Amino acid sequence: MAKEVVKKIKLQIQAGKATPAPPVGTVLGPAGVNLQEFCTKYNDATRDKMGDILPVEITIFDDRSFDFVIKTPPTAFLLKKAAKIDKGSVKGKNEVVGTITKEQLKQIAETKLPDLNAYDVEEAMKIVEGTALNMGIKISE
């Protein structure tokens, strides 16, 4: 018989650096998940992406076992990394805080494509471009 899903939890954790301390411990502890086991499995699965922040969707079953799916990094994180800035604009698109090239935009769109609601890279680029503009990041040719 299939296990019954008790809870689904979404977290954003730095790749390879999950610890039983907050925020992981405070969210997964009450759900009855073995924190050390989760941290070990997550860190092993994300070791190649060190430094990136990765969203993870954790499914907890009735027998306290779990399964998790690692998503692509948030668009804002990738844009800040490409533009080499610490944070986006406070005034949105009215204040330019950084610049990225069309090529960098395409690379980010290709990375995000599996998690976006788009069929091809051109549509994904439009979505990422909208996020960039709202963060005050200009796209140069």
pTM for the full predicted model? 0.72
CATH of residue 133: 1.10.10.250
The answer to whether 5 and 56 are in contact (CB under 8 A) is: no
The domain boundary residue, chosen from 70, 93, 126: 70
Provide the pLDDT for residue 40.
Answer: 85
Identity at 140, one-letter amino acid code: S
What are the per-10-residue average pLDDT scores of the chain (141 residues)?
77 81 79 82 82 84 84 84 80 79 85 81 84 83 75
Provide the pLDDT for residue 2.
Answer: 65
The length of the chain in residues reads 141
Q: Looking at the 3D structure of the chain, how many domains does it have?
A: 2
Same domain, 107 and 54: no
Provide the pLDDT for residue 1.
Answer: 53
The domain boundary residue, chosen from 35, 70, 105: 70
The answer to whether 70 and 92 are in contact (CB under 8 A) is: no
Distance in angstroms (rounded) separating the CA atoms of residues 15 and 51? 6
